[in-house]
Structure 1
Amino acid sequence: MPHSAREDVDDWTFQAPAFGYGAIVTALPAQSVQTESSDPWWKLRAGWIYAAIVAGELRDHGAKDEVRYVVRQELIGRLALPGGRLVAADPYVMGADPQPFVQLLGAEAAEVVAARAVIGEGHERVAALVLHVGPTAVCDWVMATVDGQDVATLDGEGYFGYPVDAGTGSFGSPDAMKTVGRVLFEDGGMLEDPVSEALLGDGVGTDSAAVVAPEPGATPVAVCSSGWGDGSYPTWIGVDGSGEVTVVVTDFLLTTDPFAVRLSPPAEEPPAARPKSLLRRWLGA
């Protein structure tokens, strides 16, 4: 029977003074995953990024001098996901009929948490978008896939992810995401639709995250800025000991994990400029 993400919510919430913002967030489930050195990179990465989100600190193992970022969680809203079906995509560049993941959530609603890394004063980036599906501990990780994708075909640090070319990530039900696609198409790039206004209301930012209805009366979706911008981003599904989904994490690959194969010496400092996303090119920002 589908369960509500609000069940026993009084036992899940806590104040977050350690992050210095005082916002109430939903306490994400604990993680109890046994890993082996022979595990694929993606499974090690999934557990690592989730642990960083829960702990509130994200390390960059790709920097010459290891960098640590404070990570703060914000509960941004709640999604209805009929049948437990979920789509993750860049809403500005996805197709007219975006494919849902083949994995079902086992719940028809979930709370949405934005995990933001504090890069510097006045500078934050969305490191991950998280769906809080259930309260039980994460005991294993599964890579989210769409029809036709087979994780067994991946080598090394391979993964399946969705393409981003407008600096935006999202979660939503298949029907809600179709509505988003239609609304954005009808907007014709004017960026005057509710989704664009939720993302860009304060200007072109790097830390936007919101749950928003694409039009009056429509089912809401969750949208956010995607890490450093454009790329291809994987989604990890945390399951409990019974195989039930407890969390879903789109990882915007903000920092390098300790399991990645280093192909070249780490850079002394981040690149001076990141490639502009399609959205920022539209705005001339």
Structure 2
Amino acid sequence: MSTPDFLTSAKRTITLEASAVTNLLNHLDQNFIDACQLMLNCRGRVIVTGMGKSGHIGKKIAATLASTGTPAFFVHPGEASHGDLGMITPEDVVIALSNSGETAEVVTIIPLLKRMNAPFISITANKTSTLSKTSAANLHIGVEEEACPLGLAPTSSTTAQLVLGDALAIALLEAKGFSAEDFAFSHPGGTLGRRLLLKVSDIMHTGDATPCVTSGTLLKEALLEVTHKRLGMTAVVNSQSQLIGIFTDGDLRRSLDNNVNLHNSLIDDVMTPNGTTVTADMLAAECLQIMETKKINALIVTNETNQPIGALNMHDLLKAGVI
């Protein structure tokens, strides 16, 4: 036997599947608009169904819809005929996947969907199939050749189904104005959720843990405050407790370079006037961007009257999983 040419085989498969995906552009028509409108107007959920490999693709489509603002779940068509059809209501919209459009388990439930007046969308490669002709909107994938050289294993067709499902999900996402924050609410356990949902108020140091000294404080006393609070800086306030400056490790290094007397100098002489601040309702991810842009490691949190109410540093963001 000759040595298999794995690379040639892989390139052929990728080329055929890429062609199948690109060819979808030629099949997008009013049916796609109708399908999107049905799903957008749906007062229930989107139910996705399909057998075999189409079923696996259907599960992924349902998961993508659910995570992008369109409530959806997968129902196995075989189980639907044995009780699971009760999961579907007249307010739902069904998406049925079948390359041939004649899959028995899927076709069997069509009369029942019609009887309950639940509209369904079909994704098929056969425009004249039972599914195609009876659906409210048929999305034609038009795949003429599978990547499988035997023409048996669903490959190009399932890839096209998957991409078409993504196209539906993203079209609905944009139509609904679904935001990154909305997405994070569906993914609170992941890094993205933490980055998008965590606010400054959730991680900042408050009360006595906030480093703060008043105007006129000796530099050596301010250094003790920086050391004790362990945030690498301290806020400087006036008699009305309003922020007038920030003193950081960087300011200390500059003071040493300028031979400033650490024992006799006042904090007012070496602080950075005003300084960069954030508010408690800001996203922690915004703080990270500010720190990276300004190349600083800590921030003071102020209220609407410019009074310090908290502080945080890069370590707090790292500990919270924002970085």
Q: TM-score, normalised by structure 2?
A: 0.20
For the pair shown, the structure with the greater C-alpha radius of gyration is: 2
Higher strand share: 1
Structure with greater helix share of residues: 2
Higher RCO by CA contacts (8 Å cutoff, separation 6 or greater): 1
